[in-house]
Amino acid sequence: EIVLTQSPGSLSLSLGERATLSCRASQTIPNNYLAWHQQKPGQAPRLLIYETSSRAAGIPDRFVGSGSGTDFTLTITRLEPEDFAVYYCQQYGRSPRTFGQGTRVEIK
Amino acid sequence: QVRLQESGPGLVNPSETLSLICSVSGGSITSHYWSWIRQPPGKKLEWIGYVFNTGSTDYNPSLKSRVSISMDTSKNQFSLNVDSLSVTDTAVYYCTRGFGFVDVWGQGTLVSVSS
């Protein structure tokens, strides 16, 4: 299976700062089928990005996905209060679908 | 807007079978793939498997021998069975929509395996 490793494990930033989250795959993800999900405490995850860089419906344009092959990035260009959460990458290019272990974005 | 709601026991004994149901509202179950995903406490998300209305299924090899997912189109529901439970199956179980990426998540239900 494709193992996804996210870094850093946690990120402490201030409002308005830029957050850069990394997701590295153990092998090339076919068709760059990589998604990002956001999870807040006590809530279900929510889809942010699919196919590396396509934003899901209603997702603000400060969330930017990029990358290819084995290296992918989620950038939050200007952190808003509601962005402090845990972010998971997910690959769906090959079965079984797998998730990274998450990056926690905290308020500094 | 499609909504998913899980239902089932919150506590199950080891070695028994877990049965969960996901009720789908706001859309037909026949037009998408439906999946189950779980998250053990403090651990990452784990994809369990999916079902489509043709009866087609696919399961995570790590769980394949103990898991089955089925669909009841007359009730607009799909379900998950996990056999031979152990404490390591304790997790929040989410029903979701999606063949590849998940675009709709249920709220999740905590299932504890304990005697």
**pLDDT 10s digits, A54-87:** 999 999 999 999 999 999 999 999 999 999 999 9
CA distance A89 to A21: 10
Closest Cα in chain B to A103: B44
The answer to whether the Cα torsion of B90, B7, A82, B103 is positive or negative is positive
Establish, for the pair of chains A and B, how many residue pairs have beta carbons separated by less than 8 Å: 55
CA distance A97 to B58: 11
Average pLDDT in the A80-103 region?
A: 95
**How many residues are there in chain B?**
115
Residue A40 has a pLDDT of 93
CA distance between the termini of chain A: 36
> Whole-number mean pLDDT of chain A?
96
The answer to whether the Cα torsion of B52, A95, B98, B77 is positive or negative is positive
Residue A20 has a pLDDT of 98
Q: Closest to B47 (Cβ–Cβ): which among A33, A93, A97? A: A97
Taking 90 as the threshold, does the pLDDT of residue A11 lie above it? yes
Closest Cα in chain A to B35: A97
CA distance B49 to chain A (A): 8
CA distance B10 to B92: 10
Q: Closest to B106 (Cβ–Cβ): which among A44, A90, A97? A: A44
CA distance A68 to chain B (A): 16
Q: Which residues in chain A are contacts of B67 at CB distance < 8 A?
A: none
Q: Which residues in chain B are contacts of A2 at CB distance < 8 A?
A: none
Which tokens belong to B66? 């103990």
CA distance B29 to chain A (A): 20
pLDDT level of residue B53 (50, 70, 90 thresholds): confident
